[in-house]
Chain A
């Protein structure tokens, strides 16, 4: 394991693409642990890690984003928002967080939400004079709300793995989600005050009316998405496909800024930006598989439970462990591996499994932003076209306030348990 970590660090630093670094580390771990005969299975693992309907939203939202940017939809959406809140310092950053909060009540996965919003928000914020890395960090952090505010893929998996009511989990996520969203707003206000964020002169009501008129066709995209998902006509994944079609129609026929000749390069861009993320997911899967086979996460968790019988110390240890493991192992896999180990010992510490579930899931969503491995990190940097280093610098204040929220949720059980209790 130490040799693996060493090789991981060395190849990472000599500018080997991170996906390849993960693949190499997985293979080294298999070989040094005497499981070299398992190498033959790695191509199959690569394939089946992407053979999942829940990942389909990624290319489709990337495509929708490309079409909306080329077709003039994004720019109109942003102009519209500016005319109304642009005169507040950091107006567009608030728009970003508020839009993500609403989106989170429709979408259940952070990856889908980050893919969709990065494509739209980062170019627009940059045009307004924000730093690219700040725009990407704000979008990716606000995307964490996706699996905390219900519906949530993570809560479903935790509920099923732990035997907790998924409905209760959904209710328990509401207050922590709102708290997280408020924390981001306060953070943005602080950074905005400190760094003198751009603000524009107040727009006249005439300008506002004009931008409202121009925005109507563009609003078809979010409008039809919300209608379709709420009425159950299509799944969130399918909504991404529908978004592409509407964006195409609006771009080609209503705004006429999109040309058939633009389409091939849109496809090529979509394929590359999708692959930059999915190759990472596939290679991280090889690494995670090697770790699971060696029972490394399990061994750490089992060792932890022997340290203390104080629930506070136990929860602090759990948070530290999850934040550390979350740097290396991706979301759902972490829940699947750790839940069966921790949940049986919760009664001994008198911890409610619903409360514990929200703690685990908050840790997991923080983990998608922390380097070196994290789907949110990869999505935001590749789609937002910022380097990992500058992104990490910009995102750490957001990670910090998320940890503060995590601690509040950890030590004030009623934040999670109150809503489920009154709904009974």
Chain B
């Protein structure tokens, strides 16, 4: 239950994040066009802002797609077998997915804590890349928690003898 609660709170944070990020992405692009054509004074930062808000939005959205169970998967086999085996396979798949995201999260922590990361800057605006890179460990942490919560939920379902949807 605790895991479910944490996962729900994280999902709220993620929603808030994308509600802020997407308008910023759109506005940066629109202002870029307006300033280039009508004001004739370029906005040097706009292109990079659009690009990196997109990357942020992609990885946060990726974690959200796990929470909403929308990530694309293949039902071909699990739809054809008996419910008991179906539950076992799905639960196994979920723990594999959870372990994978935890592993990549662990790798990304090793990566992001390397002191060289702090020396990297973006090409046009010279913004430290850490502000962009950090979206990887954050979204993978969130994704791991969503997967674990989903796994525990499915495990409860299986124990209660219900069929996982």
- Residues in chain A within 8 A of chain B (CB atoms): 11-20, 23-24, 27, 39-44, 46-47, 50-53, 55-56, 59-60, 63, 233-234, 238, 241-242, 244-245, 263-264, 267-268, 270-276, 278-280, 282, 372, 378, 381-382, 387-389
Q: Shortest beta-carbon distance, A273 to chain B, in Å?
A: 8
Partner of B74, one of A18, A50, A242: A18
Whether A275 lies near B104 (C-beta < 8 A) is: no
**CA–CA, A20 and B151, complex, Å:** 15
Is B19 touching A238 in the complex (CB atoms < 8 A)? no
For B19, what are the chain A residues with a Cβ–Cβ distance below 8 Å?
263-264, 267-268
The answer to the question of B59 belonging to the interface, with a C-beta cut-off of 8 Å to chain A, is yes
Distance in Å: Cβ of A275 to nearest Cβ of chain B: 3
Across-interface contacts of B104 in A (CB, < 8 A):
23, 42-43, 46
Q: B62 an interface residue at 8 Å Cβ cutoff?
A: yes
Shortest Cβ distance from B100 into chain A, in angstroms? Answer: 5
Instruction: State the CA gap A378–B100 with chains docked (Å).
Output: 21
Tell me, in angstroms, the Cα distance from A157 to B11 when the chains sit together: 40
Are A241 and B26 neighbours in the complex by a CB distance under 8 Å?
yes
B55 in contact (CB, < 8 A): yes
A-B contact pairs, 26 of them (CB 8 A): A13-B76, A13-B77, A14-B92, A14-B96, A15-B93, A19-B72, A23-B104, A24-B96, A27-B100, A41-B111, A43-B137, A46-B136, A47-B132, A52-B51, A55-B54, A60-B26, A233-B33, A263-B19, A264-B19, A268-B15, A268-B64, A270-B22, A274-B57, A275-B58, A279-B61, A378-B72
Task: Closest A residue to B60 by CB, please name it.
Answer: A271
Contact indicator B55/A241 (Cβ below 8 Å):
no
Please tell me if the beta carbons of A238 and B136 are within 8 angstroms of each other in the complex.
Answer: no
User: B40 near A: Cβ within 8 Å?
Assistant: no
B contact residues around A268 at 8 Å (CB): 15, 18-19, 64
CB within 8 Å for A279 and B65 given contacts A15-B73, A15-B89, A18-B73? yes
A280 CA to B70 CA in the complex, in Å?
13
Q: How far is the CB of A25 from chain B (nearest CB, A)?
A: 11
CB of B29 within 8 A of CB of A60, answer yes
Chain A residues, Cβ within 8 Å of B107:
39-40, 42-43
* Highest count of chain B CB atoms <10 Å: which of A43, A244, A264, A381: A43
User: Would you call the interface of chain B mostly helix, strand, loop, or mixed?
Assistant: helix
Contacts A23-B100, A234-B33; A53 near B57 (Cβ below 8 A): no
Q: Identify the closest chain B residue to A56 (Cβ).
A: B54
Please, which residues of chain A bring their CB within 8 A of the CB of B70?
272, 276, 382
Among B62, B90, B93, point to the contact of A275 (Cβ < 8 A): B62
A278 to B57, CA, bound (A): 10
Contact B72–A56 (Cβ < 8 Å): no
CB of A241 within 8 A of CB of B33, answer yes
Given A59-B57, A388-B74, do A267 and B23 touch, yes or no (CB 8 Å)?
yes
* Chain A, residue nearest B135 (CB): A47
Given pairs A43-B137, A46-B104, A238-B33, 9 additional interface contacts (CB within 8 A): A14-B93, A43-B107, A47-B135, A50-B54, A241-B29, A241-B30, A245-B30, A272-B68, A275-B64
A264 to B21 Cα, complex, angstroms: 11
- Measured CB to CB, the residues of B under 8 A from A are 15, 18-19, 21-23, 25-26, 29-30, 32-33, 37, 47, 50-52, 54-55, 57-66, 68, 70-78, 89-90, 92-94, 96-97, 100-101, 103-104, 107-108, 110-112, 132-133, 135-137
B96 and A279 within 8 A (CB): no
* A17, A56, A245, A280, most chain B CB atoms within 10 A: A17
Contact B29 A14 (CB under 8 A): no
Q: How far is the CA of A392 from the CA of B36 in the complex (A)?
A: 44
Complex Cα distance, B132 from A14, in Å, reads 34
Given contacts A271-B18, A382-B70, contact A278 B93 (CB under 8 A): no
Closest 9 CB pairs of A and B: A275-B61, A271-B61, A17-B71, A14-B93, A271-B18, A43-B108, A279-B62, A241-B29, A278-B58
Is there contact, CB below 8 Å, between B90 and A14? Answer: yes
**Nearest B residue to A382, CB-CB:** B72
The smallest C-beta distance from A225 to any residue of chain B, in angstroms, reads 13
Contact A242 B65 (CB under 8 A): no
In the bound complex, how far is the Cα of B70 from the Cα of A273, in angstroms? 9
- Identify which of A43, A244, A264 contacts B26 (C-beta below 8 A): A244
Docked Cα-Cα span, A339 to B81, in Å, equals: 44
State A300–B111 Cα separation when bound (angstroms): 33
Q: Kindly report which residue of chain A lies nearest to residue B23, judged by CB atoms.
A: A267
- Tell me the nearest residue of chain A to B99, going by C-beta: A24
CA distance A264 to B25 in the complex (A): 15
Do A14 and B77 touch across chains, with their CB atoms under 8 A apart?
yes
Tell me if B75 and A389 are in contact (CB < 8 A).
yes
Distance, CA A14 to CA B100, complexed state (A): 15
- Shortest CB–CB separation between residue B70 and chain A, in angstroms? 6
Is A242 a contact of B111 with CB atoms below 8 Å?
no
A59 and B33 alpha carbons, distance in the complex (Å): 18
Nearest-Cβ distance from residue A5 to partner chain B, whole angstroms: 15
